[in-house]
Homo-oligomer: A and B are copies of this chain.
């Protein structure tokens, strides 16, 4: 049986591994979890003892099959609850993350699976992130980052990379949401900012913003 804290570590380590595709080091985890490096070291030892990851002093850490499975279960719950909040309880996509951080630790598997069915087995959450199924499997969507699109090219927004409240609210304010058709009108060489077209509106976004938007052509 895992504690909430252990579950959080596994989840964040999983996310970091996905993002960096390499062994994850102590400081990176500390930043994600918002704890001190020494606390992380303690927890890594504990998780290694519980056979959830491979830990070698000074060498970073890597989830094993066991740990990956647990991490995916937490991620599944997080994303199902976010979907529930948006689809059924009229929440906005920028209001659900913190609540899902609590709900993701509810233990009943039956609850998770019934929730999944109630929502009609959604495959992505409100931020376009894939929801693992009961077995932990999910399809990686073939997407392209907006910043890699060429001039005159277009695509439909299917996901955001950064899903902080502030970024999501920024997008909402600009009327950018999942499903929007986005077309690149101009790319500024100097700072890689983009001029884009959504519906009848045209405006500029920074490279940073473009880096966090994923499209399907």
Contact = CB atoms under 8 A, between A and B. Distances in A.
A106 B114 contact: no
A35 interface: no
A110 B89 CA distance: 10
Nearest to A102: B106
Nearest to A95: B110
Interface string A103-130: 1011110110011001000000000000
Contacts of A108: 98-99, 102
A91 to B, nearest CB: 7
Nearest to A108: B99
A90 interface: yes
B102 A89 contact: no
Interface in A65-119: 85, 88-91, 95, 98-99, 102-103, 105-108, 110-111, 114-115, 118
A107 B99 CA distance: 8
**Range for the number of chain A residues in contact with chain B:** 10 to 19
A105 B99 CA distance: 11
A27 B118 CA distance: 43
Most chain B CB neighbours (cut-off 10 Å) among A95, A103, A108, A114: A108
Contacts of A106: 99, 102-103
Given A89-B114, A95-B110, A102-B107, 10 more contacts: A85-B111, A89-B115, A90-B114, A91-B110, A91-B114, A98-B108, A99-B106, A99-B111, A103-B103, A103-B106
18 contacts: A88-B118, A89-B111, A89-B114, A89-B115, A89-B118, A90-B114, A91-B110, A91-B114, A95-B110, A98-B108, A99-B106, A99-B111, A102-B105, A102-B106, A102-B107, A102-B108, A103-B103, A103-B106
